[in-house]
Structure 1
C-alpha cells in the first residue's frame, strides 16, 4: 500500500480531499477495514468531479454507521474544501471488497452531481457508473455509434447501462433503446436522466446481469433486439449473459470494454456462437496510464 500525497491523474482539489480525509481519521485513530479479520471502519474513498459543472462529490465507504464521527468529518471537510457540493456515507456490510454500500446516508448536499456528455445532461449518484474522462467519453460513444451504423428503425439493448449514458446518447439514432442494469440507484438515475433530456424512446430495467436477463425481457414483453451494445465492468460479461445474447441473436453487437483481456475471452465465446469480429478500435480514455477502452464490432455470421 502506497501512502501518497499527490496523484497526477486527479485534480488538485481531489488531492486535497484525499489528504484531508487521511489526516482527519489518522488523528482520531480510526480503524481501517481488514479483509482478513473483517474488522475496522474505513473502507474506500471515492471522489467524483463533474467536468462541465465543477460539482464535486465525496463518497466515503465504511463498514458500519458512526453518526458522530462522520458528521464531524463532513462538517470539517466542507468548511476546509469549499468546492465540495455533496458528501455521502456508503455503508458496506459485506465482506467482499466492493466500493458500493448496502445503503447510503447523505450528510451534505443532494447526494448526487450533474455532468454532460455531448448535448446530454446526466445526474450521477454515488453508486452510479459514469465515465471518469468525460471529454473522451464523447469520442468513445461516437465510436460505438459509428460501429453500430444505425438506420433509425432498430430495437437496441444497452447492457450494463449504468446511469443511462450510452442509452440516451444513441437514442436519437434508433427506434427504441432498452437499458439493463444491475445497480438499482443507477437505474433510478437513468430514468431521471431520460426525463432531464426529454427522451421518450428509452426504457430502463433492473436486471441481474450475473444471471439470465431473459425473464425480464419476457416479463416486460420487450421486442427482440436488432443491435446489442454491452459495456460491462472490468470482469467482463458473465457466461450466462453471453449465452443470453447468443439466444437473442441480434444482427450486430458493439462491445465496449475497459479490459481487453476479458473482452477477448467473451468475444471468443460470441465467435464460437456464430458471430464474426469485423473491427475494433482502442480509445485512450486514461492518458498517462496503460489502460484503454476498446470498442469491438461483431456481426452475425
Structure 2
C-alpha cells in the first residue's frame, strides 16, 4: 500500500490501490480527492487528516495548480450541490468522469466543514500557515515567475543577454520577500455581496463560495476572514440587519428584479469609516427612492446601525455591474465626503472610488522600496502611470525635479491635486484620462532630453499596448519600475513587450529593457498574492 498521501499524474491510481466498483461508495475515512478539471487529472488518496507539518507542502501545490482552489470551496458541499448545472446531454468526458470518479464530496485532508472556513480557504488560502511559512510560499511563487520570464525571453531571441543565462534560471536577482508590518485585519477596503447564504436566506451579506458556471454560489459571512478588520465585519452585519427589515428584495440577478446590492467599506488608521451601498432602482420613482435613502440614513445614524459610528454614508444608484462616479454619481447621505490617511508623513484624501493600496502599513514599505530602487534625483523627471491619488509620486517628489502623474479616474486625480496642495508639494502635476491616450501625447510633446524614471502600478489587466510602446520608444526613459500584484498574469505580457528585441511590425523600435532586480513586498498576508517590484533598465 502506498503512503497515505500521494499524487500521480495518471488516469489510474497507483499499482496496488483498488478503485470502487461503479456506483459503489468508498468507505470512510478513505477519500478520493480530485484536483483541476482536465484529463489526465491528478489523484490523491488520504486515509488520515493532513498533519500540520505538511501544510506547507499543500500550500506549495496551490502555486502549481491554483485551479484546485475551486474544489476547496466546495470540499464538503452536499453531493447534489456538486452536480448542479449538469446537462441532459452528456459528453463522453462527462460520462467518463461520472463512471470513473463519482463525486462524493471533494475535500483536502484536514480541512474543517464550516462555511466560514471554506470561505477562508478560498479568499485567504494560506491562513492556516504561520506567517514565516507564508513568506516562504510566496518567495517560491515569485521565483517561478522570474524563471518563466527568463525562459520566455530566451524564446523571444534574447539569448545573447547575459542576464537570461543565470545558473539559478532567474532573469535577474531576486530579493527576499519584504514582510507586511501588519498581518491580520490589514484591509482598509472591503466589498461584500448580497445573495443566498448557506441557509437559503437571500439577504445574506458576505463573500462568495462556489462558481457561477456550476450554479453553486453561496454567500458566506466574512466573520472568519483574518485579513478583514472587525469594523468592516460589523458594518456588514448591520447592513444585513437592515436588509432583513427592508420590504424591498435584494438584487441577485438584474433581470429578476430586486434592489439592494453590494456594500463597500473603507476605513483609515484613525478609525474613520465610509460605507458605500449600491442600489438597483429598477422601476422605482424618485419619491420611492428618497424613502429608501431616508430609511437607510436613519438606520445608520439613529437606529441599530449607529453602533458602526460611520463618518461617511454613500448611496449609489446603478443599473450596471460596475460603474464609476461619472456613470452613476455617489450620493452622500450623511457625514464627510472623504476620509483621510497619513502615509510617510503625507496626508491623503480618499474619495469613494479612488484607488488606494488596501494595506496602509504595507504601502509605506512598498513606497520606500520603490523610492530606493528608482534612484531618482534632481536631474530626473518621475513619471507615475496609474497614479491613483498620487501616493507614489508624492512620496518620491522630494527626490525628483518633477513628478507627472497619469490616472483614468477623474475623482482620483482631483484627490491627487488636493493632496499635493495640502502637503505643500509644488513640483507635481496630474493628468486625467486613459494612460494609452494621455501618455503618448505627453511623451511626444516633450522638448527637453531630461532623463525619465517611469513607475507603473497598473491593475491586474496590465498596461495597454500603446502605453508600453510609448514608454519603450521614448529614448529618455532609462529606468522603469513595474509594480504588479499579479506578475504571472497580464504583467508577464508587458514584461516581454518591454524586453523583446525591436520589432517594427509591432512598432516596438526602441532599445529593449533588461530586468535588473526584483523585490517582492507582501501586501496581502494569508493570500497567495504579493506585490512584485521589477526594475528594468537600458
Q: Please, what TM-score do these two structures have when normalized by structure 2?
A: 0.52
* Residues 1:264 and 2:502 are matched in the alignment: no
1:14 is matched with 232
1:75 equivalent among 290, 298, 315: 298
Q: Distance in 2 between matches of 1:224 and 1:46?
A: 43
* Residues 1:239 and 2:465 are matched in the alignment: yes
Secondary structure in 2 matching 1:296? strand
Secondary structure in 2 matching 1:233? coil
Q: Distance in 1 between matches of 2:330 and 2:245?
A: 25
The answer (yes or no) to whether the contact 1:167–1:177 under 8 Å persists in 2 is: yes
Q: 1:207-236: per-residue Cα shift (whole Å, max 9, x none)?
A: 212546323556798987611100111211
1:255 is matched with 482
Cα distance, 1:99 vs. partner?
5.8
Cα distance, 1:74 vs. partner?
2.2
Aligned structure 1 segments of 4 or more residues deviating by more than 6 angstroms: 219-224
Secondary structure in 1 matching 2:293? helix
Q: 1:74 to 1:216 in 2, by over 3 A?
A: farther
After TM superposition, the structure 1 = structure 2 runs for residues 117-136 of structure 1, keeping only pairs within 5 Å, are: 117-136=343-362
What value does the CA root-mean-square deviation take over the aligned residues? 2.3
**Count of matched residue pairs:** 297
2:246 is matched with 28
Decide which structure has the larger Cα Rg and report it.
2
Long gaps (5+) in structure 1: none
Cα distance, 1:203 vs. partner?
0.2
2:311 equivalent among 85, 108, 129: 85
Q: 1:139-163: per-residue Cα shift (whole Å, max 9, x none)?
A: 1011111111122221111001111
More strand by share: 1
Secondary structure in 2 matching 1:260? coil
- Mean alpha-carbon deviation: is it higher for 63-72 or for 287-296? 63-72
* Residues 1:63 and 2:280 are matched in the alignment: yes
Q: Distance in 2 between matches of 1:206 and 1:225?
A: 23
Q: 1:235-263: per-residue Cα shift (whole Å, max 9, x none)?
A: 11122221221222410100111111222
1:98 is matched with 322
1:49 is matched with 267
Q: 1:173-220: per-residue Cα shift (whole Å, max 9, x none)?
A: 000000000000000000100011000000001021254632355679
After TM superposition, the structure 1 = structure 2 runs for residues 274-293 of structure 1, keeping only pairs within 5 Å, are: 274-293=512-531
Q: 1:74-97: per-residue Cα shift (whole Å, max 9, x none)?
A: 221233234311111233343xx3
Cα distance, 1:29 vs. partner?
4.5
Q: Distance in 1 between matches of 2:241 and 2:307?
A: 14
Q: Distance in 1 between matches of 2:434 and 2:319?
A: 20
2:72 is matched with none
The answer (yes or no) to whether the contact 2:431–2:438 under 8 Å persists in 1 is: no
After TM superposition, the structure 1 = structure 2 runs for residues 128-207 of structure 1, keeping only pairs within 5 Å, are: 128-207=354-433
Q: 1:97-155: per-residue Cα shift (whole Å, max 9, x none)?
A: 32634211111112110001111010000011111111110110111111111222211
The answer (yes or no) to whether the contact 1:155–1:225 under 8 Å persists in 2 is: yes
Q: Please, what TM-score do these two structures have when normalized by structure 1?
A: 0.90
Long gaps (5+) in structure 2: 1-207, 209-218, 501-507
Q: Distance in 1 between matches of 2:449 and 2:389?
A: 22
Q: Distance in 1 between matches of 2:529 and 2:234?
A: 25
The answer (yes or no) to whether the contact 2:346–2:395 under 8 Å persists in 1 is: yes
Q: Distance in 2 between matches of 1:193 and 1:223?
A: 29
Q: 1:282 to 1:26 in 2, by over 3 A?
A: same
The answer (yes or no) to whether the contact 1:207–1:213 under 8 Å persists in 2 is: no
